Amino acid sequence: MTTVERCVGAPMTRVDGLDKVTGAARYAYEFPTRDVSYVWPVQATIARGRVTEVDPAPALALPGVVTVLDHTNAPRLNAEAPAGADLFVLQSPRVAYHGQMVAAVVATSLEAAREGAAAVRVSYEREPHDVVLRADDERLEIAETVTDGSPGLVERGDADAAWAAAPVRVDRTYTTPVEHVSPMEPHATIAVWDEERLTLFNSDQGPYMSAQLMSALFGIELSAVEIVAEYIGGGFGSKGIPRSPTVLAALAARAVGRPVKIALTRQQMFQLIPYRSPTIQRVRLGAERDGRLTVIQHESVQQRSALVPFADQTVSSTRMMYAAPNARTTVKVAPLDVMTPAWFRAPGHTPGMYALESAVDELAEALGMDPIELRIRNEPETDPDSGKPFSSRGLVECLRTGAARFGWADRDPAPGSRREGPWLIGTGVAASHHPDYTFPSSAVARAEADGTYRVRIGAADLGTGARTALTQVAADALGIPLPRLRLEIGRASLGAAPFAGGSLGTASWGWAVHKACRALREELDTYGGVVPDGGLEVRASTTEDVERRADLSRHTFGAQFAQVRVDGDTGEVRVDRMLGVFAAGRIVNPHTARSQFLGAMTMGLSMALLEVGEVDPVFGDFANHDFAGYHIAAHADVPKLDVMWLEETDNTSNPVGAKGIGELGIVGAAAAIANAFHHATGERVRDLPIRVERSREALRAARAAGKHRPGAGGPEPRVG
């Protein structure tokens, strides 16, 4: 056929766009359900201790309240299930974090459930708690493994001797705060039991994997669990697995024998949905005077909960970014009386590359060298961590292409040298990196006798454009026009498939879709191209294909550029422009890919300048727990951003040639902005976010040190 390659690479409008702009798209909470009840959690007002008594009487006296659940009467979960302790909802009197669910009210209306929850009286035995992350915490331990499966400590060469001998050294500590994922759609579930069958309409990044987890927790067959996740209002990692509200809905529905729904309030999102761990990162870079790195040491201090040993892969990018012969990279975690942190867009890589790429900028300054040139000088030939060849490595081309497009050559490297009226203006650059993961997946392709085709896969589209990209892949692989194709995703029963996380969706699902469609075509050929009565169906799995891939170091790269302006009087920081240049395999849909990159860079801007979860050490909770207190970037914060990508063909990847792009765009964005802030003001802020109080402090320090070149235009800043 001649139609191959027609759709992949074309800027197709989102196939589900019409449903989204008309309000027709159904999210988890919105499926019509008969006789539905509402469950509202009662949350712990202590951070550590145990529940001594739950008095349901005041709640039960209210009209509409059906029942009050607590650890004494909630249905039992399978204690052997391989699930994190946070998911064993209402199974014990133990309180491990402030805001944990300790009871729940089921009622016939939303209002009655909420009022009932406020009326339940809970007594506690309180124990002293500790919720503050400290670099000198005596309980800090090196993580056995981090999220990507690698060890918490990796060494090569002799990092101590090389550090002692390095002619040029940078030794700095950077911190990032608690960051809340905050998808616009709060976590929501409708749970429906039919005898021993459980159906969950769930806001969920991975319906199949979630069904596995829920079947284990409730001790029922995998085939008895259906998860429907047709539309997901953003996830960014927070909906990667079911969280406590999903388990609560299923428990409550089982207890009352009718469907139950829950949607967290925005405030509850901050208390019940995992966040990005704060980090305290010490980076030490040692180099020869020509800029060649001799040693990298990167230690990240993070928090976990008392019960769950979670550790982000914060130093994993550092292990393979630059060609230093000696390195020590470490993740240490302290067990605190907090909700377990978890994944948030490019887990680990995002805060880790903020620290590393800030330190590289500081080293460039110490060397008197251009920061792009410094990175290029330390470009490795093979993966410095594993020794494997790279399947592709576009970092240098991204940096060079970006430099030309951004106008880097015109930059005066002296900090504090450009001023327009009250504004100090600076530019910065940082590298971007994310691993290229591919997981096995299955897919089904079916030809109907009427000439139409159906492709089914247990994928999920949380706004990424997966539904559109997979449609394009399928249409090309089948060689048919789009109107004859129907793609079904968003259900566990569509078959084994990985979740939408780790930027692995398009590569993993796309491969399975491609394989199933090609196999169907071949099968059809044996029928002389005529679809038999009753249709023809082919199921494909890529498990063996993924295993058979060449043993290469697989990654995606990018370069981030930013220009910021800082008001010398007020300290206000504005981002004027950003450019992201990326090398991430074949781009299936330029339209949705551009949106993915833009969105990730926007989130990086938000991280750099706005986002901080304020920990209250006394009560043990977050002092800011809504969008008035936890600021995420709004329209007025975000300028026009520029995105481009390189034509990258990585034939070793998968037949589609696609790699993941959802996370790459956030990595490095905050470092580029922080480096630009330094270039603008001459002073570095090493603690994110760079909000106005930190900006003003930096301006005061810069002025005291005389770092703004006098007479560069405009009056002296009046900070004081």
Partner 1 sequence: MRINGTPHSMTIDNRTTLLDVLRERLGLTGSKKGCDHGQCGACTVLLDGERVNSCLMFAVTAEDREIVSIEGVADLADGEALHPVQRAFLDHDGLQCGYCTPGQICSAIGALGEAGRGWPSHVTEDIAAGVADASALDAREVRERMSGNLCRCGAYNGIVEAVLEAAGAQGPQDTATAATSAAGGAR
* Residues taking part in catalysis: 663
With binding defined as CB under 8 A, does residue 655 bind partner 1?
no
- 428 three-class SS: strand
| 614 is a contact residue toward partner 1 (CB under 8 A) | no
Cβ pair 214, 250 in contact under 8 A: yes
The one segment of 141-149, 249-257, 431-439, 456-464 that binds partner 1 by CB under 8 A: 456-464
- 232 makes contact with partner 1 (CB under 8 A): yes
**Residue from 60, 132, 140, 638 in contact with partner 1 (CB under 8 A):** 638
Residue 27 Cβ vs partner 1, minimum distance, rounded to whole Å? 7
In Å, how far are 451, 453, 514, 540 from 479, measured between CA atoms? 12, 11, 11, 18
For the CB of residue 407, give the shortest distance to partner 1 in the complex, in Å: 8
Answer for which of 224, 524, 632, 712 binds partner 1 (CB under 8 A) is 632
- CA–CA separation, 558 and 349 (whole Å): 13
Residues 289-308 that bind partner 1 (CB under 8 A): none
CA-CA distance, 170 to 670, in Å (whole number)?
20
Least separation in angstroms between residue 639's CB and partner 1 is: 5
Q: Which is nearer to partner 1, 249 or 263 (CB)?
A: 263
**Pairwise CA distance, residues 98 & 96, whole Å:** 7
**Does residue 396 belong to the site contacting partner 1 (CB under 8 A)?**
no
Q: Identify whether the C-beta of residue 590 lies closer than 8 Å to the C-beta of residue 583.
A: no
Q: Binding of partner 1 at residue 110 (CB under 8 A)?
A: yes
Task: Indicate which single residue of 435, 463, 490, 510 sits in contact with partner 1 (rule: CB under 8 A).
Answer: 463
279, 287 Cβ separation under 8 angstroms: no
Q: Taking the complex as a whole, how short is the minimal distance between the CB of residue 148 and partner 1, in angstroms?
A: 24
Strands 573-583 and 641-645: parallel
CB neighbour class for 181 (10 Å; exposed up to 12, middle 13-18, buried from 19): buried
Least CB distance from residue 565 to partner 1, whole Å? 8
Number of residues that bind partner 1 (CB under 8 A): 77
Comparing CB distances to partner 1, the nearer of 17 and 655 is: 17
576 lines the binding site for partner 1 (CB under 8 A): yes
Cis peptide before 335 (omega within 30 of 0): no
Does position 206 interact with partner 1 (CB under 8 A)? The reply is: no
Place of tokens 């978890």: 342
> Does 683 interact with partner 1 (rule: CB under 8 A)?
no
Q: Which is nearer to partner 1, 278 or 463 (CB)?
A: 463
Q: Binding mask 31-70 vs partner 1 (x if CB under 8 A, - otherwise)?
A: -x--------------------------------------
Where does residue 110 rank: exposed (0-12), middle (13-18), buried (19+ CB within 10 A)?
Answer: middle
Between 282 and 631, CB nearer to partner 1: 631
Strand partners, 190: 201, 261
The type of residue at 550 is A
The yes or no reply on residue 202 touching partner 1 (CB under 8 A) is no
Q: Helix, strand, coil: what percent of the chain each, to 5?
A: 30, 25, 45
The total of other beta-carbon atoms located within 10 Å of residue 417's CB is: 19
Contact call for residue 663 and partner 1 (CB under 8 A): no
Q: How far is the CB of 289 from partner 1 (least distance, A)?
A: 35
Which residue in 688, 690, 556, 665 sits closest to 603, CA to CA?
665
The C-alpha atoms of residue 708 and residue 720 are separated, in whole angstroms, by 15
When binding is defined by CB under 8 A, the residue of 600, 608, 612, 719 that contacts partner 1 is 600
State how far the Cα of 94 lies from the Cα of 51, in Å rounded to an integer: 7
Q: CA of 560: how far to CAs of 84, 202, 667, 714, in Å?
A: 36, 35, 9, 29
| Shortest distance (Å) from residue 373 CB to partner 1 | 23
> Of 295-303, 348-356, 542-550, 637-645, which part binds partner 1 (CB under 8 A)?
637-645
Please report how close the Cβ of residue 411 comes to partner 1 at its closest, in angstroms. 13
DSSP-based three-state secondary structure for 398: helix
DSSP letter at 331 equals E
Enumerate residues 464-503 that contact partner 1 by CB under 8 A: 464-465
Among 309, 325, 380, 639, binds partner 1 (CB under 8 A): 639
- Residue from 1, 409, 636, 704 touching partner 1 (CB under 8 A): that is 636
Interface with partner 1 in residues 398-417 (CB under 8 A)? 401
If one asks whether residue 155 binds partner 1 (CB under 8 A), the answer comes out as no
Report the residue from 127, 290, 626, 716 that binds partner 1 according to the rule CB under 8 A: 626
C-alpha to C-alpha distance for 688 and 612, rounded to whole angstroms: 8
CB 363 within 8 A of CB 324: no
When binding is defined by CB under 8 A, the residue of 641, 656, 658, 680 that contacts partner 1 is 641
From 90, 443, 559, 633, residue interacting with partner 1 (rule: CB under 8 A) = 633
Q: Which of 508/602 has CB closer to partner 1?
A: 602
Tell me phi and psi for residue 112, to 5 degrees: -70, -40
Strands (E), 150-253: 153-156, 168-176, 179-180, 188-194, 197-202, 225-228
Binding partner 1 by CB under 8 A: which of 109, 223, 386, 649? 109
- Span interacting with partner 1, options 19-27, 92-100, 305-313, 434-442, rule CB under 8 A: 19-27
- Give the range of 42-50, 158-166, 489-497, 624-632 binding partner 1 by CB under 8 A: 624-632
Rounded distance between C-alpha atoms, residue 375 and residue 414, angstroms: 19
Binding partner 1 by CB under 8 A: which of 199, 277, 596, 653?
A: 596
Q: What binding mask, one character per residue, do residues 242-271 give for partner 1 by CB under 8 A, x or -?
A: ---------------------x-xxx----
Residue 424, strand partner residues: 419, 566
Are 152 and 330 within 8 A, CB to CB? yes
Q: How far apart are CA 708 and CA 702, in angstroms?
A: 7
Reduce the DSSP state of residue 40 to 3 states and report it: strand
Pick from 58, 590, 655, 714: which binds partner 1 (CB under 8 A)? 590
Site for partner 1 contains 222 (CB under 8 A): no
Q: Quick check: 326 and 158 in contact, CB under 8 A?
A: yes
**Nearest-angstrom CA–CA distance, 275 and 269:** 10
Residues 161-200 close enough to bind partner 1 by CB under 8 A: 182-186
Candidate segments 89-97, 304-312, 601-609, 649-657, binder of partner 1 by CB under 8 A: 601-609
> Using CB under 8 A, which of 77, 217, 579, 673 touches partner 1?
579
Q: Which amino acid is at 466?
A: A
Residue 714 touching partner 1 (CB under 8 A):
no
Q: For residues 524-563, which are near partner 1 according to CB under 8 A?
A: 563
Residue closer to partner 1 (CB basis): 80 or 647: 647
Report yes or no: 625 and 267 within 8 Å, Cβ to Cβ: yes
Q: Do residues 273 and 187 make contact, with C-beta atoms less than 8 angstroms apart? A: yes
Say which DSSP state 511 is in: H
Please tell me the distance from the alpha carbon of residue 183 to that of residue 246, in angstroms, as a whole number. Answer: 16
Q: Which is nearer to partner 1, 266 or 518 (CB)?
A: 266
Residue nearer to partner 1 on the CB measure, 464 or 675 = 464
Supply the minimum distance, in Å, between the C-beta of residue 460 and partner 1.
11
